[in-house]
């Protein structure tokens, strides 16, 4: 837990969120400012500032994070329509909350890149 981190506070239950599921390692909750009809964030409970700070010891946790994305997609029925998964790393890439999170977004058209 990092004292001034909003996602640590959500993970600790100190700040409310629309939580879809949680376990000992990860949780999934709806983004407060969705940019798609479905917009969910999957985070580790452990405070990792961004992917740039993930360590080899986080290998299993990072796997759980991606399986958490899969669970979101399965439980919300996103697989057929497809979904976009984004990890912004660093301010230059648009990261605004410095606790690792995976965006899971679906229900609209996307452009690439």
Residues near ligand 5GP (CB under 6 A): 6, 17, 29, 31-33, 41, 88, 94-97
DSSP for 50-64 reads -GGG--GGGHHHHHH
Shortest distance in whole angstroms from residue 96 CB to ligand 5GP? 4
* Alpha helices, H only, the chain: 6-11, 59-76
- The continuous run of DSSP H or E covering 9 comes out as helix 6-11
Which CB, 7 or 83, lies closer to Zn ion?
Answer: 7
Shortest distance in whole angstroms from residue 6 CB to ligand 5GP? 5
- The continuous run of DSSP H or E covering 14 comes out as none
Shortest distance in whole angstroms from residue 37 CB to Zn ion? 27
Max CA distance (Å), the chain: 40
The reply to whether 46 sits near Zn ion by the rule CB under 5 A is: no
- Is 101 catalytic? The answer is yes
The catalytic residue positions are 101
């Amino acid at each position: 837990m990092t004292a001034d981190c909003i996602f640590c506070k959500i993970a600790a239950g100190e700040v409310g969120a629309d939580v879809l599921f949680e376990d000992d390692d990860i949780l999934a909750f709806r983004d407060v400012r969705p940019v798609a009809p479905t917009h969910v964030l999957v985070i580790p409970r452990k405070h990792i500032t961004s992917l740039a700070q993930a360590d080899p010891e986080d290998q299993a946790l990072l796997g759980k994070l991606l399986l958490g994305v899969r669970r979101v997609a399965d439980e919300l029925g996103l697989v057929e329509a497809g979904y976009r998964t984004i990890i912004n790393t660093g301010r230059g890439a648009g990261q605004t909350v410095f606790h690792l999170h995976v965006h899971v977004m679906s229900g609209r058209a996307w452009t690439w890149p």
